[in-house]
Structure 1
Amino acid sequence: MSYFSHIVLGFVMAFLSLTPPGMLNMTAVRTAIEKNRNEGIWFALGAALVVIPQAFIALVFARFFGENPHIVERLKLGGIFVLFLLSVVFFIQARKKFKGEGAKRKGKSFWTGMLMSVMNMLAIPFYLVLSSVLENKGLLNTEQPFINLFVSGVFLGAFTLFFVYVQFARVIQKRAQFIARNINYILSALFLVLAILTLFKLLK
């Protein structure tokens, strides 16, 4: 496995995982609209930087779980509950309307981006699961310097995605309500199906 492939892998994983409208990218859009493009970019940088320790922690634990598969078995029941919970959360989000307008306030967007990214509790579990799968398939090496290269790719992918949202903020604002409503319904259904399949496997 080459060094470059790990950077690309991290980039693709981060970019695709953040593509659906969510808390971070929609806030980046709102920041660019309410303040200005530069503030949106500062928000994007702050949010992307937090992804670095999140992905790093996930890769370290991915190796640990890979060496202790019995722990993964014990976590399956808890995982089912989380999947059902996520299904409900996204369904509730789908019932809400995204508002692109709001009070125009000045603030330090960089720190706001970092804080909101820290609040993204799904980041570490996401990278944990996907990195475990990629490692089992021989696509990811969870040793140094590959971890650092992968994490670097994750940062670049996250920042690029947020930057794209900022660049097209005005266009996204007009369509955000339609996109967010439908993507949340899709995610809700997806998590529900995963929960049912996981429960079925556990009961077999």
Structure 2
Amino acid sequence: MDFFQHFVIGFIMAFAGLLPPGMLNMTAMKTAVAVDKKAGFLFSLGAALIVIPQAFIALYFANYFAKHPEIIENISFLGVIVLFLLSGFFFWLARKKNSKESKIQSSNFFFMGMIMSALNMLAIPYYLVYSTLLESRDILILERNYILFFVFGAFFGAFALFTLFVLLSDVLIKRAKYIARNLNYLLSILFFFLAIFTLINIFNN
């Protein structure tokens, strides 16, 4: 079991986990559409950096979380609240007739990415569940040195995924102008249904 394998697993887990339309990848794409690609890349970098402590906490304290499942449940509930708040926020943005978002300096989107990624309360439960499953099958080793390689793999996987969405923003502008014009509404609806879906999963577990 080598370190590179843990790096690859971390990369794949982060990339696959962020691939479905969600809070971060859609915002990265929206930023590239509404502002420019530089802002989108900076947002992506900031968001990906927060994956490092999230994945590390999930794996390093896996045994503690297993003994205290109520912590993960509380984190999941916080995630639902954040999704509802984001749904309302993007609906508010969509209702604004004169958006000044394009005047925001691109450098600020790096910190915006960090903040929004930190608000993603569902990241820690995600890494915890799948890393524990892989450990039970002797695919992962939850020891510090191995965890570090996994974590850096997760960072690069997240950044690669966000970057992909930023690059796809060109296709969005050229081939789906209606979506581009109504992206805030679509994000609002997306976050609302993600919150409902997460809430249902919490009560079913």
Give the alignment's TM-score, normalised by structure 1: 0.73
Distance 2:48 2:28 in 1: 11
Structure 1 vs Structure 2 CA RMSD: 3.4
Counterpart in 2 of 1:12? 12
Distance 2:136 2:74 in 1: 22
Counterpart in 1 of 2:115? 115
Give the alignment's TM-score, normalised by structure 2: 0.73
Q: Which amino acid aligns with 1:158?
A: A
Distance 1:131 1:149 in 2: 13
Call closer, same or farther: CA 1:178–1:13 in 2, change over 3 Å: same
Distance 1:16 1:102 in 2: 33
Structure 1: tracts of 5 or more residues without a match: 199-204
Aligned length: 188
Q: Please say which of residues 163-172 and 173-182 is displaced more in the overlay.
A: 173-182
Counterpart in 2 of 1:63? 63
Counterpart in 2 of 1:79? 73
Q: Which amino acid aligns with 1:56?
A: F
Counterpart in 2 of 1:201? none
Taking the TM superposition and a 5 Å limit, the aligned residue runs for 1:87-126 are 93=87, 102-103=99-100, 104-107=102-105, 108=107, 109-126=109-126
Q: Which amino acid aligns with 2:10?
A: G
Assess if the C-alpha contact under 8 Å between 2:6 and 2:146 holds in 1: yes
Assess if the C-alpha contact under 8 Å between 2:26 and 2:187 holds in 1: no
* % identical equivalent positions: 39
Call closer, same or farther: CA 1:29–1:158 in 2, change over 3 Å: same
Assess if the C-alpha contact under 8 Å between 1:80 and 1:195 holds in 2: no
Q: Which amino acid aligns with 1:133?
A: L
Secondary structure of the corresponding residue to residue 104 of structure 2: coil
Q: Please say which of residues 119-128 and 4-13 is displaced more in the overlay.
A: 119-128
Shift of 1:102: 4.4
Structure 2: tracts of 5 or more residues without a match: none
